[in-house]
Structure 1
Amino acid sequence: MFACKKSGYILSATIAIVALCACNKTHDPSPVPATSVKKWDVVLNAKFENPAPAGRTETGTATLELFSDNKITFTIGVTGLAGGDNLTSSHIHWGDPLTNGPIVLNFNKTYTNNAITGEATISKGLADSLVAGNSYVNVHSSNFPGGLLRGQLNNPVDFAIDVPLSGANEVPAVTTTATGLALLRLTADKNLYSRVTVTNIEANDTATVAHIHPGAAGANGGVLQGLCASKDDFGIIKITLLDDAKVTALKTAALYVNAHSKLRAAGIVRGQIR
């Protein structure tokens, strides 16, 4: 009889423990849902590429959202795609507005009706870098595998132009084998990213300085903004903070880029911004 009572005690205790465990399990806290860390509405444009693809005018948007669990969602759409071209891939790259940088995230989706949507899980380190760093979305196509249109995540481009430079545009015209290109990208924080290159210059001459000047085609004007202060500044990215008056002028006024040289101090190659 004592053995029966003992067994009953053990059974009751076991039932109580099981019930307690079940009770505790039902009161376990639910997982905390992921919250939004940052959302980007990225403006994409063919003229933001470096250099911009000649004659192309495609635009688009990329909506990205990063969550606290390091998941990133994306929706990308392109409008005005030229006939005979097809969108092939899209990525996030490192780089400021004038840098063509490495891929850090492949969206790995196939375009349907010139759009994709999806999500990916990334590392915490990459997530932190995307929030604070220089990066851009780049959309590639069969005709432009290096990139058809792009847009910065954190510091959007407000104004972009590629200015071909030629001696024929100088006033008066200059006969020279030299040609050039000025890439100008103005960002929302009023920083002007510029890179001026001069190639095929005569062997006995050297590019010295370059500026933005006020003036329509056929007219000469004073210096509005320096771009290259010495020969060593040609071919590299320069960043200059502009004041409001210069921002307005860059966006609206008749301006030109002029590159000067040792033998042609007044200008060797020039091109109009507008």
Structure 2
Amino acid sequence: MIRRFLALVFVVTMSHTAWASSVEANLSSQVLLLARLSGSKVVPAVQTQAEGLVAVLLNFQKDSAFITGTVTGMTSAITGIHLHRGRAGENGDVVLDLSSSLQGDVVAAATKLSSIPPAVIAAALKGELYVAVHTMLNPGGELRGQLEAETDVQLSAMLSGEAQVPPVTTDATGMVVATLRQDGKKLRIWAVFSGTAQVTAAHLHRGASGTNGDVVADLSGMIRGNTIVGELDASSFVEALLRGEVYMNIHTSAYPNGELRGQLSATARTQLAFEVWLDGAQQVPPISTMARGVGKFWLSASVDTLWWDIYADGLSSTITGVHLHRGAVGASGDVLLDLSASVQQNGWIRGSSTSVSSALIAALLSGQVYVNIHTANNPNGEIRGQVWRLLREGFVASFDGQQQVPPVTTLARGTGIVSIDRTGSSLHYEFVLNGVVPQAVHFHKGKRGENGDVLFDLSSSFSAVAMAGATASGYWTAEDMPAFDAVTAELFFRDSVYVNVHSALYPNGECRGQVTRQYAPMGISTADNGSQQPVQLSPNPVETTMWIRAESAEGSLLAWRVFTLRGETVLEGTAEYSAGGYMVDVSSLPSGVYLLQMTFSSSNRRALPFVKQ
């Protein structure tokens, strides 16, 4: 037990102070949905090295919807890209055709959120929309990915003696609300209980409902009176937690094996989850009271029904009213929704409402709503709590060479997302790049048009795709070195972070993407838009001799160089233009994938991938 306790990493965070973190103070009413595309998700699955990413930003306050994405490594020309309705593993009808917004391997589109049928928005929020990319060789779909909201996971339980195994007779009751960070490593716990004998210990146990199991986390150090508040490392039992096989047990002097127990279960991903902690310190002005409360809200995917479960204990007198008010942390505001009719006995406030206005939705998503519990002794409110969403704050990045400082000429493109949890302890990133083989990738500090210092090295998370593409997926957390913290999070909210992709051809950066919430589709250039000279390699794959097909003056010279995907020069030379192209002998190269750099002039350098057989 001592070893387990010492190995347990937790930080007691009494998160009921009247201030907001840098993330909480900057929350928007925006929802980020992400689809990671692969051939294995197509129904039936297809064999392909291709991968892709599509992000959707829904902004309920600004009535906007933005779609951006990139694919790489496709087997053949893209014939269509659509949003389909259907769960994972099912095929469904097209609900939105994005093909007209496709330029090369990049899609970018914008529309009013109000122009999208509510049923389609609901399907997206429930995870029942998927992206399909169709090609000539795979007309039924070469890539597919389910759109899912970027969110942390909410778990909760009602605590009772009846849930004990065997049941115990007690008037004690309580509630626990927990948040599992998206990476599955940290679990934050809020619990309030009442009516127990002297509490001697509290634990999380592994075990399904109706069974007893071993302790997986000791919560005893988090007990403060009738509350349990803290954060712990959940990585050793996260799978059991998500399966609903972890329970909280509160032991007392009267019931040493446990007086209160509750099975932690996750709020369905088909609903938008919110959490609240209530105390007197959050009142304006603060109230001195021993009362505490904890609760959860969840909003239907159709955003027309709101449910709530709140448990409060220690109030000085009878509850006279419970309301949702509009207001930021430290500010008071008007009532948005009256919850008073849902007050029950024994500290419970449980109910639902279909009086869900667009103003309430936008305020909930942006952290501008609080719960106020009014009592006879404190008619203006005895305890109060800010309602926080579990959805992570979303950002996107679109990559090209024109964002480099100074700009570079390249066909490299890409799309990425970043999401940050509301406490500012973790950042999730996903990127897909096309037309570039990264040698190094970093988060840098700097606004658009500026160069800045490296904040975090992303290089180890990138993997090559086919001939010239790459993907990345990972987290930057408070446990990393350097740590992700509130100061760094603030840079993202100020549009002061960019991703720089360094390559062998452009060691200072070939393509770059500003990480931003203020996304709008950017103009996307292609190889034949007149800004660059059309170039074709043939044959590709090649066995011995390859022709560089390009328009040039007869007898002009071309300097060329062949790189491995690691950036090593393995072959170089010059070629003279003749019969519509330049001839390059690559017969000495081993089989593999290479990059051919071609320098037509001091201002015209190109690079294309090829396969040596």
CA distance in 2, matches of 1:250, 1:136: 28
2:457 is aligned to: 226
Corresponding letter in the other structure for 1:53: V
2:56 is aligned to: 53
CA RMSD of aligned residues (A): 4.2
Matched, 1:251 2:493: yes
Of the candidates 265, 279, 294, which is equivalent to residue 131 of structure 1? Answer: 265
Matched, 1:193 2:428: yes
Mark the structure with the bigger radius of gyration.
1
CA drift at 1:184: 0.3
CA drift at 1:165: 0.8
Check whether the contact 2:462–2:472 (CA below 8 A) recurs between aligned residues. Answer: no
Check whether the contact 1:157–1:185 (CA below 8 A) recurs between aligned residues. Answer: no
CA distance in 1, matches of 2:475, 2:407: 30
CA drift at 1:245: 2.1
Count of aligned residue pairs for this structure pair: 173
Check whether the contact 1:157–1:186 (CA below 8 A) recurs between aligned residues. Answer: no
Check whether the contact 1:180–1:199 (CA below 8 A) recurs between aligned residues. Answer: yes
TM-score, length-scaled by structure 1: 0.50
2:415 is aligned to: 181
CA distance in 1, matches of 2:448, 2:148: 35
How does 1:123-162 map onto structure 2 within 5 Å? 128=244, 131-132=265-266, 135=269, 137=271, 139=301, 156-162=390-396
Check whether the contact 1:208–1:229 (CA below 8 A) recurs between aligned residues. Answer: no
Name which of structure 1's ranges 179-188 and 43-52 shifts more when overlaid on structure 2: 43-52
Residue by residue over 1:105-152, the C-alpha shift from the partner in whole angstroms, topping out at 9 and shown as x without a partner, is xxxxxxxxxxxxxxxxxxx79883883589464848xxxxxxxxxx9x
Name which of structure 1's ranges 166-175 and 154-163 shifts more when overlaid on structure 2: 154-163
Seen in structure 2, the aligned counterparts of structure 1 residues 101 and 169 have a Cα distance that, compared at 3 Å, is: closer
2:440 is aligned to: 209
CA distance in 2, matches of 1:194, 1:240: 8
CA drift at 1:179: 0.2
CA distance in 2, matches of 1:225, 1:126: 30
CA drift at 1:273: 2.6
More helix by share: 1
Seen in structure 2, the aligned counterparts of structure 1 residues 235 and 133 have a Cα distance that, compared at 3 Å, is: farther
CA drift at 1:86: 1.2
2:224 is aligned to: none
Of the candidates 247, 270, 273, which is equivalent to residue 512 of structure 2? Answer: 270
Check whether the contact 2:31–2:391 (CA below 8 A) recurs between aligned residues. Answer: no
Corresponding letter in the other structure for 1:226: D
Q: 2:59 aligns to what SS in structure 1?
A: coil
Matched, 1:163 2:397: yes
Corresponding letter in the other structure for 1:217: R
Check whether the contact 1:211–1:259 (CA below 8 A) recurs between aligned residues. Answer: yes
Seen in structure 2, the aligned counterparts of structure 1 residues 240 and 167 have a Cα distance that, compared at 3 Å, is: same
CA distance in 1, matches of 2:513, 2:30: 20
CA drift at 1:173: 0.7
Check whether the contact 2:461–2:472 (CA below 8 A) recurs between aligned residues. Answer: no
Matched, 1:238 2:474: yes
Check whether the contact 1:256–1:273 (CA below 8 A) recurs between aligned residues. Answer: yes
Check whether the contact 2:127–2:146 (CA below 8 A) recurs between aligned residues. Answer: no
Of the candidates 70, 75, 84, which is equivalent to residue 115 of structure 2? Answer: 84
CA distance in 2, matches of 1:208, 1:136: 39
More strand by share: 2
CA distance in 2, matches of 1:131, 1:235: 33
* 5+ residue gaps, structure 1: 1-42, 60-80, 103-123, 141-150
Seen in structure 2, the aligned counterparts of structure 1 residues 212 and 92 have a Cα distance that, compared at 3 Å, is: same
How does 1:20-31 map onto structure 2 within 5 Å? none
CA drift at 1:164: 0.5
1:68 is aligned to: none
CA distance in 1, matches of 2:28, 2:265: 18
CA drift at 1:212: 1.5
Q: 1:168 aligns to what SS in structure 2?
A: helix
Residue by residue over 1:71-128, the C-alpha shift from the partner in whole angstroms, topping out at 9 and shown as x without a partner, is xxxxxxxxxx73432111446559xxx98469xxxxxxxxxxxxxxxxxxxxx79883
Q: 1:249 aligns to what SS in structure 2?
A: helix
Residue by residue over 1:225-254, the C-alpha shift from the partner in whole angstroms, topping out at 9 and shown as x without a partner, is 223335428524201101232122222352
CA distance in 1, matches of 2:147, 2:508: 33
Corresponding letter in the other structure for 1:188: R
CA distance in 1, matches of 2:30, 2:458: 24
CA drift at 1:272: 1.9
CA distance in 1, matches of 2:404, 2:29: 30
Identity of aligned residues (%): 20
Corresponding letter in the other structure for 1:177: L
Higher RCO (CA-CA < 8 Å; seq separation 6+): 1
